[in-house]
Structures are given as structure tokens and as C-alpha cells.
A and B are shown apart, each in its own frame.
Chain A
Amino acid sequence: MTTALILLLLAVGAYLVAVIEAWTMNGRWQLAAPITAGIALLGRESIVPRKPDRVFFEVAPVLLLISALLAATVLPLTPGLIITDLATGVLFINAALVYVLVALLMAGWGPNGAYAMIGGWRFLGQLIAYAMLIVMPVTAVAMRAESLLTTQIVTSQADLWNILYQPLGFVLFFVAAMALAFLPPFDLTTATSELAGGVEAEYSGVRLAVFRLGRLVLVITLAATIVVFYLGGWQGPWLPPWAWSAIKILAVTALMLLAGPALPRVREADLLSLCWKLGIPLALLNIFVVGLQVLVWP
């Protein structure tokens, strides 16, 4: 029951992400557009390029969708609305999200095209760097909650949200989440003007629909993760918990999507050096500072 409800909510969430994304691009609210686009894709031919690695080509979009869905299973939307409250929830989210990388590598290799392949390898470099910025800020979050349970992380923020308790961690995690979801300006792996779509370039029809859906779900899942880890989850005054969750998740989604059209794409060299030379030292500092805070105000 809970599972069905959460799947439904994710579907609605994915739809809203698509609407918001279109809005950030052209400033219009096109409420029907994602649905017509989806139906149109289903009706269109789904081409298999010449000499593909068929297994990878077929599996990649599905794996992307599944890993995004799996990450969502441990995120609480209201106190009871969670598919499974794993004792290792925080670690589990990371584990599920790393498979986004595997999916994109498959999508890069499978269709047998140069653009796709370069896109796939680009994402390898990007994710290995930014996975660090996912894991390290999350460590600090878990330190404060003294638990890997996502519900406990939410309740640990009852007095003060983590965005205020560890703002540095929030910024790092937010950037890393955008890089993980290859949202612009971090969309080096699907860059239209460099790789003509990169890993997406060879997909069409149903497979493309699944790929895009997977990405939308990934965005909404990451937004929900940010809300759970840093914005106090369902907590908030006056409104019921579900409303707070929804408002916060949509706000974070909009924030993640707004940066894209307003900024030029990051250079690949900058992307990597930013992470390794600036991001990771800052993340270590964040862990250190949060450690001190936890000791000083237990």
C-alpha cells in the first residue's frame, strides 16, 4: 500500500519536475506538455543502432529508473510514509545512486556511438569526484543524528534544520546532487552542443521515454534527499507533514533546475578540479566542524 502510494507520488513528482524544467527553459507553464511528449515517445519507433551491445543498450534506461526508485524507498515523506526504514538508510541511498553511474556507462557503451561513449566516460570522472561530495556531507549529517536511519535524521533536526546547523555541508551536497543528476550546468554527459545529446543521443521511442523518466525520478529523489537531510523533512509549523514535504521538495527541485539555463556549462577541467581541490577539503572541514558542534552542544 505504502509502496503503491509512494510510486504514485514519484510519478506525480516526475511530472512536476518536467513541468518546472520546461518553465525554467521558456518561462511558460505547459501543464500538458510532459504528458503529450511521453505519449508521443511511446508511439514512435525505437531504433536500435547498428552493432550495439544489445544487453547494455536495453538495460541502461531501466537501470537508471530502478536506481532512482530504489534510492526513494528509504526516504520518509511523512512520519509513517516510508517504504522501508532501513537501519543503513543513508548508506543505502548512496549505494542506489552509484548505480546511476553504471547505467550511464552502459548507455554510453551500448549504442556503439562516439558521442555516447565519450558522454559515458565523462560521467565516470564526474561521478567519482562528486560521489565523494555526496558521501562526506552525509557523514556529517549522520554524525549529528547519531544514526543512519533516515527517520531519525529528520527528527534530529527538530530544533534546528541542518541547513543552518551545517550550511557548508548543504551547499556541497546540493552541488553534488546536481552533478549526480547531470543537470545543467553539470550536464557534460548529455551536452547538446558538445556531444549532440551524449548518452541520450542514440535512444529513441520507448527507450528514450524510460531514460527521461528515470532522470526525472532521479531529480525528484535527490530533491527529496536534500529535504530529508538538510531541510528537516516533513517538519514545519501550521501545515500537515505531507504538505511540508511537498512544498520543500518542489522548492528544492525548482532551485536545482533554475541554475541550468542561467549559467554556461562548467568546463570539464574546472568541474573536476573544483571538486577535488576545493570541494573535498571543504567537506572534510565540514565534518570536523560538525564534530566539534556535536561535542560542544550534545
Chain B
Amino acid sequence: MIVGARQGKLSGLRQLVAKAMARDLTGFLVPGIDIAHARGLDVEAAGVRLVASPRHASVLLVVGDISPALRNAAAVIYAQMARPRALLVLGTDDLSPLPSADVTAELSQPGLIDGIAQLRIAFAEGAFRPEVTDFDAPMLHVRVEYTCPMHPEVVQDEPGSCPKCGMTLEPREASANDVDSHPHETHDHGSHSHQHEANDHQSMDHAASEEYTCPMHPEVVQSEPGSCPKCGMTLEPRKAKASKAHDHASTDQSDMNHGDMDHGDMDHGDMDHSGMDHSGMDHGDMDHGDMDHGDDAFMSMIDVTKDLPRSSDGLPMDWIDVPFGPFFPGLPSGLLLTLTLDGDTVAGSNAGTLTDNVTLPHRSALEPLSFVARLSNMEPLAPLAYHFLASQAMENAAGIDITTTAAHGRIGALERERITSHLGWLALFGQQMGFDWLLRRAATMQLKFRYANDQQIMALKPDLASLIKRLRRTPLLKSRNAGIGRLAQDNALRGPVARAVGIDNDARSTNPVYTALGFKAISRDSGDSMARLQVRLDELSQSLALIDAAGTIELPEPTAIGSATGAGEAFVETPRGAAHLYLTLEKGLVVTAQLETPSTHHLTLIDTLTKQQSLGDALLAVGSLDLSPWEIRQ
């Protein structure tokens, strides 16, 4: 809801400011610009300036249905936005934990324009509304815990001093245990880590033995009571920590951050020491008297740094975990990428998707039509490809042959989708590279191609050619991409990514209808980001030629499979690579299905692609893969 930044009456000056705010709408898109384009929305043309940081946004724009995990992340984004802020929702009504929408509209460009018009009115009237309500959601709650700046493994609920070094513990915020928790807990156990952590500590405390230490000289530790050899004070009992490297890998508060672009709750101290967590370092031995150099309560820097990971340049540095996604500009929306940064270099990564896994029937019956719908709704970036995949597998299972004309129609539609998908990727990649022209141009073209019939597509041919020509001549593009994200030949690669390494992995090559149309797979061999870009550019022209050869574009028709029983499989070359579906039919119902998607394979590449790259290169390498988090199956 629109919440007044400053309460009070709507005076003349305020009216002016509110009008200005209504005219200058800045939006943060959830789940992202790629989905908006794929759904045919041009947000900038509708009058909302898109921004990268939630702090700069006044409108949170939610496009379509999103998974609960993404909604949680969106709620964190919403909480970071400066007031007055508003929520514009297109085509969905399930929003929890977000507050109710200020404006709801249907998921289409006219709907968007209409929604924005309403939003402007709402802003002009409500920006200084007297009644101010706060947005509150469970995942925003912070629990204050106390930790030692030097010993991040020391975490407790009450203030006090560090049992290891005697320093005063610093408060820091940890997120409350999420109520929701993500249904598939593969990406990060952030929401539970604090629980684990607390448990760890408790259990360890119970297990720990008693030892005695001097309050002034923490390095003095002995197992019997007595007095300190240095100052003569009576030693105090304390619980000894077992010096086992327990894993605090996710002590870092970034669990709250996956969603958000903010990192608000890191503080400098933690930030610079959070790297220690990763090495599973134990400071236990510090207590145990290998500190022969201490004359005062002295903190050895050697001990602090000796277990830090070494960067590629050999300097031990603190590493920080920084979340990129799920709404990070330039990355596929829904992709949660956490990079461990060593300065500007990526030391490690953790990638996953926050989208829902679509459930496939497994020994349960499902209507063929709803099976097809479920599969094609899964992937907003390439719905037709999955539609055809499902239809083809069912036809194979039922033993139905389709006519060549119908096959040509499908090829036309599939290739058109490939063009739109590649153009969408180009737009996103342009955003990633900071290449604004490409973002705008490719997005405009994508919207034009989306529902174009074959004549319109042929009319668009020169535009596409000039886009490709301009790209090939752009200075700096080569130096930005050549040698970045180089991949070796690997059987796990699919689609353009595989063809850029020189593997002829294309489901179309084995399809007789395609070969009859003169299809020949494109390939490059350098395997870097540039090669992937070139393969996709070549495929744009190739798809145009295929549409030309096929001559028709036919939207998917539901195939009647009657009450057939049998098993069948299908390969379809989606824009991201070959997808494979195996299913069994029983009396006209789908009872079992197994789906294999290209992005699932590619997700595992991220770690090798990003390691020891500079941040910009690492993100570009991830971007060049053209992942679709929506089809990733975990």
C-alpha cells in the first residue's frame, strides 16, 4: 500500500511533490525484465523507469505468478523500498507475504498501461496519506545475537565477553527463523542455519569440559583452578570449546539476503571476518597456549590470518558472501546466485533456483491436456517448446503420426520461439554488459517477433540482419567476451552452449523433417562467451531461414490421443538445448513422466565458470549460459 513518507495534510507544496512523484515512477521488476519481455510487456514504454536497486524504486511491479520463495524475496525487496511505495501486480492474486496490491491489472501491455495510469492517480492522492502503516513480514524480523568480532564462531544470545579473547561481544542481526522455509531446501539452508548454529552451541557447551582462565590474560588456560602466572588474579572457570571445526558456513547473515539486493545486515566487522567461516577455522588452539609471544592481552594477527583462504595472488584475505539474485539485473530472474567474493574476485559460488519445481505425475494419473498445460506453463521463456515436447512424447507413446504440414507448422512456431528467446537473451545479456542499446533494441525486436505471422517475420528480416551486423561491429564487445567463461567439451552441455564448444548436440539434426528443410547444426569451437554469442546470432538467421522453408507457423493444437496405452519419449531442441521427456500412458492418462531439461545441466557449470574470475567476468560467464531457472529441476 502507498505509505506516506511524511504524514500530514496535503498542502500546496506537498501536492506538487506528490504530482511529481506520480509522474516520475521508478519500478523494480519482479521476477525480472526477461519474464516481462517474454510475456510481451514493455515496461519502460508504458512509462515506468526501471531501476536496479530497490532503494531507488517507488513501484514494485510483480509480473505473473511466482513461487512462494520468490514472493518472500520480493517482500524483502519491498521492505527496502523508500516510501511512498506502491505495489502493482499483473495477472496474479497470490501475494502473501507481500501486502495487498495497490493496483491490480491483467497481464498484458494494455493492462500494464492501465495499471500505471491508476497508480499515478493513487500516488498523486496518497503519497502523503496521514495514516501510516508499516509493512511487516516474518522474514524481516531480526533477532539480535552477539558475536565476537575476532571469533565469528562465538555466537550467543546475551551480551557479554568473548570466552576466547575477552573482547566485548558485538550485537548483530540474524534473521528470525523463517516461517515459510523453502519447499526444496537445496539452494541454501540459510533459513535454518541459525537454528543449527544455536543447537551446535548448546550441544557443544554440554559436551565441553571445564577449564580455568584469567579474565585479563585469556591465553592463560589450565585445567585446574589457581592463580594467573602473569598477574596473580584468581582464574575463573569457563566451558572449553572442543576444537573441532564445526561448520558455520552459513553463519553469515546473508540468508536474509538471498532475496534482497541489500546486505543491510552485514556490518563491516562481520563482513571482513565472515570469510573465516568458510575455512572452518578453529581458534581453539589459540587458547591452548601456543602464544609464546604475548606479553599483554595481545591478539596475534598471524593467528587471525593463518587460516584465512589465500587468494590467487597469495594474500590471505577475508571473503564475503554476496547474493546476486533472484532479481538481480542482468541475470536470469529467479536464479539465486551467491558468490563468495575475495575483493573483486570470485572465490566460490552457490547457485540454485527459487522457482517452483513443477510436479510431474509419478504413478498418478493426469489428463493429457492438463499435463501439456502444466509443462508449457512451467517455462515462461519457452512455453511452446515444452508444449511440443509433451505433445510429441504423447503422440509417440500413443503411436500417432502427424502430417508433414503439421510438423512444418510446429517447426515454424518453434523456430519463432527460438528467435524470441534468443532476442530475449540478447536483451538480458546487453543489460549484463551495460550495453544499453542492445537491451532496448533486442527487447523491441523480441516483442515484435512474439506473435508475428510468417509474412510479418519476413518483413522483420532486415531489422534482425542490421541488429546482427551492428553487433558484429561493436567495439569492445570482443574484448569483453573473448576468453570469458571458456568451457571444455563435456557431455553435459546442451544447445548453443554445446555448439559453441564444437559439439554437434542438436536434437534437430536427428529430426528428418528438419533435415529435409536443409537444417545443419551451427557450431563454433572456442567455447567462450563470444562463441556462445556468435552461435546464437547465427541461429537467429538460421531460424529465420527455417521459418521461410517451413512456410507456415501453426500454434499448438491439442492432439487427441484417445485412450491409448504405451510408453514414449521425445527430444525437442528448446532454445536452451535439447529437452527430453519420457512418459507412459495408461488408458489415455499420463501416469509417469520423466523430464530432463538443459538448464539443469548447465546450472552445475556455474562453479567452474566463475571461480577465480573477476566479478564482472564471472557474471558475464553466467549470463552467457542463458540459464532458465524456471526449467531447472532440483
Physical contact A–B (CB less than 8 Å): yes
**Is A261 on the interface with B (CB-CB < 8 A)?**
yes
| A24 to B, closest residue via Cβ | B436
A65 to B427, CA, bound (A): 34
Number of A-B contacts (CB under 8 A): 179
Give the residues in chain B near A49, CB-CB below 8 Å: 262, 264
B16–A113 touching, CB < 8 Å: no
Give the residues in chain B near A269, CB-CB below 8 Å: 614, 617
With A193-B330, A197-B53 given, is the CB distance from A36 to B23 under 8 Å?
yes
A265 to B433, CA, bound (A): 6
B322–A33 touching, CB < 8 Å: no
**Is A196 on the interface with B (CB-CB < 8 A)?**
yes
A25 to B52, CA, bound (A): 16
Question: Taking each of B44, B58, B437, which has the highest tally of chain A beta carbons within 10 Å of its own beta carbon?
Answer: B437
| A118 to B, closest residue via Cβ | B344
A115–B322 touching, CB < 8 Å: yes
With A40-B21, A115-B263 given, is the CB distance from A193 to B16 under 8 Å?
no
**Is B584 on the interface with A (CB-CB < 8 A)?**
no
| B619 to A, closest residue via Cβ | A194
Tell me the minimal C-beta distance from B335 to chain A in angstroms. Answer: 13
> Which of chain A's residues 1-54 have a Cβ closer than 8 Å to chain B?
25-26, 32-33, 35-37, 39-40, 42-47, 49-51, 53
Dominant SS at the B interface? mixed
A39–B271 touching, CB < 8 Å: no
> Which of chain B's residues 478-497 have a Cβ closer than 8 Å to chain A?
479-480
**Is B400 on the interface with A (CB-CB < 8 A)?**
no
A50–B20 touching, CB < 8 Å: no
With A33-B24, A44-B84, A264-B476 given, is the CB distance from A204 to B56 under 8 Å?
yes
A37 to B23, CA, bound (A): 8
B479–A270 touching, CB < 8 Å: yes
Give the residues in chain A near B56, CB-CB below 8 Å: 197, 200, 204, 208
Tell me the minimal C-beta distance from B72 to chain A in angstroms. Answer: 19
Selected contact of B20 from candidates A26, A39, A201, A266, CB within 8 Å: A39
| A262 to B, closest residue via Cβ | B437
With A43-B17, A118-B341 given, is the CB distance from A266 to B480 under 8 Å?
yes
B433–A205 touching, CB < 8 Å: no
Give the residues in chain A near B5, CB-CB below 8 Å: 43-45, 205
A37–B615 touching, CB < 8 Å: no
A: contact size bracket: 35 or more
A114–B263 touching, CB < 8 Å: yes
B344–A191 touching, CB < 8 Å: no
A40–B24 touching, CB < 8 Å: yes
A115 to B5, CA, bound (A): 26
A269 to B21, CA, bound (A): 40
Selected contact of A50 from candidates B173, B432, B440, B474, CB within 8 Å: B173
A51 to B142, CA, bound (A): 14
A40–B17 touching, CB < 8 Å: yes
With A39-B17, A113-B264 given, is the CB distance from A25 to B53 under 8 Å?
no
Tell me the minimal C-beta distance from A97 to chain B in angstroms. Answer: 23
**Is B267 on the interface with A (CB-CB < 8 A)?**
yes
| A186 to B, closest residue via Cβ | B434
Give the residues in chain A near B436, CB-CB below 8 Å: 25, 184, 260-261
Tell me the minimal C-beta distance from B175 to chain A in angstroms. Answer: 12
**Is A188 on the interface with B (CB-CB < 8 A)?**
yes
A194 to B434, CA, bound (A): 9
| A37 to B, closest residue via Cβ | B24
**Is A61 on the interface with B (CB-CB < 8 A)?**
no
Tell me the minimal C-beta distance from A75 to chain B in angstroms. Answer: 30
A43 to B56, CA, bound (A): 13
Contact with B along A62-96 (1 / 0, CB 8 A): 00000000000000000000000000000000000
**Is A99 on the interface with B (CB-CB < 8 A)?**
no
Tell me the minimal C-beta distance from B331 to chain A in angstroms. Answer: 8
> Which of chain A's residues 121-145 have a Cβ closer than 8 Å to chain B?
121-122
A191 to B330, CA, bound (A): 11
With A46-B82, A268-B616 given, is the CB distance from A114 to B266 under 8 Å?
yes
Question: Taking each of A36, A263, A266, which has the highest tally of chain B beta carbons within 10 Å of its own beta carbon?
Answer: A263
Tell me the minimal C-beta distance from B85 to chain A in angstroms. Answer: 9
With A40-B23, A264-B433, A268-B614 given, is the CB distance from A47 to B82 under 8 Å?
yes
Give the residues in chain A near B329, CB-CB below 8 Å: 192-193, 196
A264–B435 touching, CB < 8 Å: yes
A200–B322 touching, CB < 8 Å: no
| B128 to A, closest residue via Cβ | A43
A36 to B120, CA, bound (A): 13
Selected contact of A191 from candidates B18, B266, B476, B616, CB within 8 Å: B616
**Is B9 on the interface with A (CB-CB < 8 A)?**
no
B479–A192 touching, CB < 8 Å: no
Give the residues in chain B near A115, CB-CB below 8 Å: 261, 263, 322
Contact with A along B509-537 (1 / 0, CB 8 A): 00000000000000000000000000000
With A193-B432, A268-B614 given, is the CB distance from A200 to B267 under 8 Å?
no
**Is B265 on the interface with A (CB-CB < 8 A)?**
yes
A32 to B448, CA, bound (A): 30
Selected contact of A184 from candidates B268, B320, B434, B477, CB within 8 Å: B434
A190 to B477, CA, bound (A): 20
Question: Taking each of A26, A109, A122, A201, which has the highest tally of chain B beta carbons within 10 Å of its own beta carbon?
Answer: A201
Give the residues in chain B near A196, CB-CB below 8 Å: 52-53, 261, 328-329
Give the residues in chain B near A268, CB-CB below 8 Å: 344, 614-616
With A113-B266, A263-B475, A265-B435 given, is the CB distance from A188 to B17 under 8 Å?
no
List the 5 shortest-distance A-B pairs measured between CB atoms, nearest first. Answer: A193-B330, A265-B434, A43-B17, A261-B436, A39-B20
List 21 contacting pairs A-B, 8 Å CB cutoff, sorted by A. Answer: A37-B24, A40-B20, A43-B18, A43-B21, A47-B80, A112-B266, A113-B266, A115-B261, A192-B434, A193-B52, A193-B432, A193-B434, A193-B619, A196-B53, A200-B53, A204-B82, A205-B82, A264-B434, A265-B435, A266-B480, A268-B616
Which residues of B pack against A, CB within 8 Å? 5, 14, 16-18, 20-21, 23-24, 44, 51-53, 55-56, 58, 80, 82-84, 127, 173, 261-268, 271, 320, 322, 328-331, 341, 343-344, 430-438, 440, 474-477, 479-480, 614-617, 619
Which residues of A pack against B, CB within 8 Å? 25-26, 32-33, 35-37, 39-40, 42-47, 49-51, 53, 109, 112-115, 117-118, 121-122, 184-185, 187-188, 191-197, 200-205, 208, 260-270
Given A197-B52, A267-B479, 9 other A-B residues pairs in contact with their CB atoms under 8 A: A39-B16, A44-B83, A118-B322, A192-B52, A201-B55, A208-B55, A264-B477, A267-B617, A269-B614
